[in-house]
Structure 1
Amino acid sequence: MAEVVGLLLSPFLQVFFEKIASGEFVDFFRSRKLDSRLLKRLEIVLLSANAVLEYAEEMQFTEHMVKKWLDELKDAVYDAEDILDEIHTEVLRCKLDAEFQTIATKVRKTISTSLNPFVREIEPKIKYVLETLDDLVKQKDAIGLKEGVGGKSSGRSSTSLVEESDIFGRNDDKELIVNLLLSDNVSGNELCVIAIIGMGGLGKTTLAQLVYNDHRMEGHFDHKAWVCVSDDFDVLKMTKTILEKLGLPTKSESNNLDWLQVTLQQKLMGKKFLLVLDDVWNKNIKNYSEWEAFSNPFKSGAKGTRVIVTTREKPVASIIRSTIYDLKTLQDDDCWLLFSKHAFYSGNSDAHPELEVIGRKIVERCKGLPLAVKTTGALLWSELDVKEWNKIMMSEIWDLQSDIIPALRLSYKYLPLHLKRCFAYCSIFPKDYDFEKEELILLWMAEGFLPQGKPKTMEEIGDDYFADLVSRSLFQQSSKNTLKFGMHDLVNDLARFVSGQFTFRLEEGGNSLEIGNKTRHLSFFIRSTRKIEKFGALYEATGLRTFLPIYRSNEILAKELAPDLLPMLRCLRFINLRSSLKLTELPDSIGKMKHIRHLNVSWTPI
């Protein structure tokens, strides 16, 4: 099975195969006389599932049955991972025993291997998980899952055209960028590149369109070109596209990059040129050399030539050595004007004061994202029934699959495989909660998301992962504490959606999801120990892995941990009992938790 590890695997199968392929695991199977055919069957069935996983990850946003299938598959893999951990623990136990055993004891143990109670216990578990996985793989064709499909965007297109009457709150942004374009002292003799950065749905393309179509551009630049990059930043293709935008035919030498670039260079010689590259991703431009090869023809232009790049990822701005313009969310008043434009005839809510009250609450839930405001307003266009407005305002769509998810799902879709699971796990944090980088990295480590290897430690790898998620605007620095980070509410919704039933947050305001046998990660924020009885539902979550209290600043929460609860939660990997003031000693059941990797009992009487 070692050859499987090199394949492109889904993140929650990657670690699984690495464990199975280890020599210790294979040796254990042989020495304990476990059925070796189970390994081969497990390999085949998981590879069959892996073949459709990328497609399933993409389709889960729009197809309920695919989302359900994917959750069932993840649940089975979680169970399989627990079995592997049990085997790994048994391997370690046997190694320790061997160090202290006499030769006679080793002989007796070898004779009794076939009667090992661990084997009798673990083999039925493997067979059960295998049957579950096998059933799920057989279902993939019935729900339309295709092999070898996915991982590629359906293709996003944009144009330079924009309806200015639909834009609110971007005049200041527009003027700042226009000034950068018109200034003669931005970059000296170097090519000036301006990167507009922000999360999906924030209006980066719209702002670029406003600037591109500003009347001052016509008199200042000799040539303009707008190119939507999206999926494919191919130097040959991009050069050809720009030439066509400038009205130059490319048919005869269309595949000769040198001819194309020389022709473009001659066309731009001594001219001021404005180019907009919309929707550029880090996966498109991998290094500065690639960017330099593409941008060389622009350097023949006159001083003042400018390039605008819109992107969600700060690494793009670093590679192309640009001036960064970090786009912010809209102000409340501008959000309301935008909402009114799309929700009311003539954009005026004066005739409907009841609807305005509800509408302003809806706008608050959009958290300043223009796309969320616009699409929600469109849902209510010409609707005058108060009940319908209340239905939208109270809808579970805000906590589950909101209209903004189609815009944000591209950010998730293009995450590297190793980051997808790390990001989804962050749904354990409540909205508006600021977390520390070190805190999250410890959680990732306990869950086994960070690979062990050299030359970097797991902590250093976790730091790299964290920085990557920050650069993609999925994490943002806290405005209250520069040492902490948070997620925009709609990004939190995205994490919550892809995490699904596996994460549960016990909060003061209640939950739309329920604790169940699929729940693997739990966080809770309770001001009063009187609500501790809610933990009774945890008896359903026998596969729970994370038990995480959420502490607000300047609050110390006393926790009473039911002494009969922990023995039920044998799969826990992370337990945070910090500030449990009545916890004077660890329960005996801690010693029976084979999966535990992180235990925090700071600020307790222990």
Structure 2
Amino acid sequence: MAEVVAAFLPVLFNIMASPEFVDFFRQRKLNEGVLEKLKISLLSVNALLEDAEEKQLTKPAVKLWLDDLKDVVYDAEDTLDEIATEALQHKLDVEFQTTSSKVHNSISKFLSNFNKENQKIKELLDKLEYLVRQKDVLGLKEGSGGESVKRRASTSLVEESGIFGRDDDKEKIINLLLSNDASSNENLCVIPIVGMGGIGKTTLAQLVYKDNRVKEHFDLQSWVCVSDDFDVFGVTKTVLESVTSSTCDIKDLNLLQVKLQQKLMGKKFLLVLDDVWNENYADWEILSNPFKIGAPGSIVIVTTRSCNVASIMNALPIDRLKPLVEGDCWSLFAKYAFHDDEFDARRELEVIGRQIVKKCEGLPLAAKTIGGLLRSKPDVDEWERILKSELWDSSFEKTNILPALRLSYKYLPSHLKQCFAYCSIFPKDCVLVKDEIVLLWMAEGFLAETRNKRMEEVGEDYFLDLASRSLLEQSSGNKSSFVMHDLVNDLAKFVSGQFTFRLEVDNSPEIVNRIRHLSYFRNEFDNFKKFEDLYEATRLHTFLPLELLPSNNSYFYLTKKVPLDLLPNLSSLRVLSLSHYQNMTELPELIGKIKHLRYLNISSTAIRRLPDSVCKLCNLQTLNLSGCKDLSVLPRDMRKLVNLRHLDITGTVIKEMPMQLSRLKCLQTLTKFIISKQNGACIEELGKLANLRGRLSILELQNVVPPTDALKACLNDRKYLEELVLEWNALDSNISECQRSVLHNLRPHNNLKSLTINNYGAGSLPDWVGDHSFSNITFLRLENSILHQFGHLEP
């Protein structure tokens, strides 16, 4: 929890440091002192967070203090974002409004709103100062970190009678160790054992290390528990002491490595580096230098939760360690849950126990620790209570499940912690689609653009980093879909606390108005009763409907009270989705007052038009209108959505684009662009959208007159476009020469992968179509077109 709070602070500081925010304050001679005080107060509580993180587990009062702090930090974010939005809106008013009276009214409105926000900041300061004063009562120390959480040290010793289901994995690694391929490898051979926390990586390494065949094969063996302290000197010293079976007093790294090199020279050795987290390639290079002197066939086994670690060490490719099958998981559970002479006498517990084992999802740590807990609880009623409870949440310290996974979370960089915690909005068994999650993270302010990377690229890096650490697992058969192990999901819910709520999944929240992120499963009929408690959740940031088992044939109905009555009450929303509600025909005009909104998804609804007030959402980044088959027009002032990055209008019947879309300099996704005949958007507008990528359909190409105007689309410069559809209104051989000229001038970049041409009647294609330079094209379609060499091509 404390780490989630700490991750939010850079977001607040970035808002306060933004040029627009600072300039507006200075230009209007507004009170900058109050902002400086807010920064100081936030830094003061930040100094206490590390200690509070440790003590919240044993001191309920500290956890309450953290909840209060996070509530204030959320409010601070809302307040600062509101000021930043007002400043941006004023800037846009100056840019788009021509009369001085309107600009003056805009300034007066801002100053009036600012006075309210200034009062809010003072109230936030009072709350923060009060929380800082509580440190002595709670025993919190600045920057101490309390008694730090240590990863459990490991040794090479293992009790084999308590291990189940790893014979195949063990034999696979031993075969690698003994194989001719490993022995003939000129470079140092590194074998990785990769998997999530608690799945048994160390246990498997211990089994391999202890096997007699392995002992006989190697001249030397060494086991080092690396853990979080990847100190090259310390690890080298431990390896040297292990191979010499004596202590070492050398203080110099060079002398230490020289001596280790002498001991390893010409020897075939096996080194196990257990629990490696460090992803610094330079550290590995230095550490591994002495190992390269060993005899051919020398091998390093590394256990890690991160694929990146294995990659840095240039390890052999190997599959992640899989969960135990249910039978093996039961055997492990039973060993710990029953005394040797007790199992046969307690058959009535087996039925309950097997249901509990299913909850363990094949995780050895879960089976072992829950079994150990139940060993002291022989009554059927107690087993039933544990079966029906969220054991790994409520029995955090007793089961040792979450502590093991919490280490994975604790050692995440702060920018990943808030992203991971946000994933708790998805209940167990939900599929997480990478690109969609990145858009949600972006809307919540978790991603920052860098000089070299877009926010979307930064978010993808974050997502894949979580996956490499086994906190997200790729769903079978789909590279972009991921799932969370149930225990990882429990961890995410634990760290997000009372600020995330899954309707109809979680127990009723104690404090409804603290909820910031809400999700729920759509039902066929979502009536008002389902949402009535949310009228108190006025500070929601996320309103997200989900489908447990998506179906294109499902019909969902949403009470009109949600868009008309509830939404205007949720003025702090960043993420709003009302997708797949087929009875949704309109949005309220008040949608324009949800000024924080960054993500709006009303795809696959019966929406006919968007209210003009949507164009007041100057922070909006994503607008998903795909599948809105009744939507025929976009609001006139779309050009004011200056932060819009993704506009998906696939499957709509929009006939005309709004004017001046070229002002949307951030726009990257524009799935469809319609060329107007007279007063609408011309193809030159498209040419000014320099950041377009992904898929683009250009329609009504017969309106490109003269044909040389097609050059203004600048498609040859759009190197990130992957799919392109070029379409004329209808097959017309009377304008065939004009069509050929237009198509000639619409030559795309050579990176294009898919090209579709519809209603083309010029008889022949320009030279670029089929040119060898377009080697990336894997899909080419000519639909309803006339070509002399091919005849008339129908769909």
**TM-score bucket (shorter structure):** over 0.9
| Distance apart, 1:548 and its partner CA | 0.6
Residue 438 of structure 2: which of 441, 448, 456 is its match? Answer: 441
Cα deviations across residues 559-588 of structure 1 (Å, max 9, x unaligned)? Answer: 234121111111111111111111111111
Tell me if 1:350 matches 2:347: no
Contact 2:393 2:402 in 1 (8 A): no
Deviates more, 1:438-447 or 1:321-330: 321-330
Residue aligned with 1:380, SS? helix
**Which amino acid in the other structure matches residue 144 of structure 2?**
V
Contact 2:237 2:248 in 1 (8 A): no
Q: 1:259 maps to which residue?
A: 255
Tell me if 1:559 matches 2:558: yes
Q: 1:533 maps to which residue?
A: 529
Distance 1:320 1:453, change over 3 A: closer
Residue aligned with 1:172, SS? helix
Distance 1:295 1:31, change over 3 A: closer
Deviates more, 1:478-487 or 1:412-421: 478-487
| Distance apart, 1:554 and its partner CA | 1.4
Q: 1:368 maps to which residue?
A: 362
Residue aligned with 2:585, SS? coil
TM-score scaled by structure 2? 0.71
For 2:324 and 2:99, the matched residues in 1 are separated by 73
Larger radius of gyration: 2
Q: 1:302 maps to which residue?
A: 295
Deviates more, 1:150-159 or 1:41-50: 150-159
For 1:473 and 1:505, the matched residues in 2 are separated by 23
Contact 1:233 1:285 in 2 (8 A): no
For 1:374 and 1:503, the matched residues in 2 are separated by 30
| Distance apart, 1:383 and its partner CA | 2.9
For 1:384 and 1:54, the matched residues in 2 are separated by 39
Residue aligned with 2:558, SS? coil
Distance 1:369 1:560, change over 3 A: same
| Distance apart, 1:549 and its partner CA | 0.7
1:204-353 to 2 correspondence within 5 Å? 204-247=201-244, 251=248, 254-281=250-277, 284-287=278-281, 289-323=282-316, 324-346=318-340, 349-353=343-347
Cα deviations across residues 101-142 of structure 1 (Å, max 9, x unaligned)? Answer: 5557767887x68x9421332222112222111111211232
For 2:379 and 2:330, the matched residues in 1 are separated by 19
Distance 1:171 1:138, change over 3 A: same
Tell me if 1:119 matches 2:120: no
For 1:304 and 1:109, the matched residues in 2 are separated by 75
Contact 2:93 2:103 in 1 (8 A): no
For 2:501 and 2:438, the matched residues in 1 are separated by 20
Q: 2:571 maps to which residue?
A: 570
Residue aligned with 1:274, SS? strand
Deviates more, 1:14-23 or 1:270-279: 14-23
Q: 1:3 maps to which residue?
A: none
Tell me if 1:387 matches 2:381: yes
Cα RMSD after superposing both structures: 2.3
Contact 1:545 1:571 in 2 (8 A): yes
Q: 1:463 maps to which residue?
A: 460
Tell me if 1:41 matches 2:37: yes
Distance 1:602 1:514, change over 3 A: farther
Cα deviations across residues 466-504 of structure 1 (Å, max 9, x unaligned)? Answer: 111111111100125443101000000000000011111
Residue aligned with 1:142, SS? helix
TM-score scaled by structure 1? 0.92
Contact 2:435 2:480 in 1 (8 A): no
**Which amino acid in the other structure matches residue 582 of structure 1?**
N
Residue 515 of structure 2: which of 490, 513, 519 is its match? Answer: 519
Contact 1:523 1:549 in 2 (8 A): yes
Q: Percent identity?
A: 59
Q: 2:678 maps to which residue?
A: none
Contact 1:192 1:305 in 2 (8 A): yes
For 2:465 and 2:365, the matched residues in 1 are separated by 24
Contact 2:193 2:201 in 1 (8 A): yes
Contact 1:401 1:497 in 2 (8 A): no
Tell me if 1:501 matches 2:498: yes
Distance 1:510 1:494, change over 3 A: closer
Q: 1:5 maps to which residue?
A: none
Cα deviations across residues 15-40 of structure 1 (Å, max 9, x unaligned)? Answer: 10111123432343455564433222
Report how many residues are paired.
592
Contact 1:341 1:348 in 2 (8 A): no
Residue aligned with 2:458, SS? helix
Tell me if 1:426 matches 2:416: no
Deviates more, 1:178-187 or 1:435-444: 178-187
Which residues of structure 2 form unaligned runs of 5+?
Answer: 608-795
Q: 2:165 maps to which residue?
A: 169
Contact 1:477 1:485 in 2 (8 A): yes
For 2:560 and 2:67, the matched residues in 1 are separated by 30
Q: 1:4 maps to which residue?
A: none
Contact 1:560 1:580 in 2 (8 A): no
Residue aligned with 1:362, SS? helix
| Distance apart, 1:156 and its partner CA | 3.0
For 2:105 and 2:419, the matched residues in 1 are separated by 45
Cα deviations across residues 417-458 of structure 1 (Å, max 9, x unaligned)? Answer: 111001100000010111210110110111111113322111
- Higher-helix-fraction structure: 1
**Which amino acid in the other structure matches residue 121 of structure 2?**
I
For 1:192 and 1:347, the matched residues in 2 are separated by 46
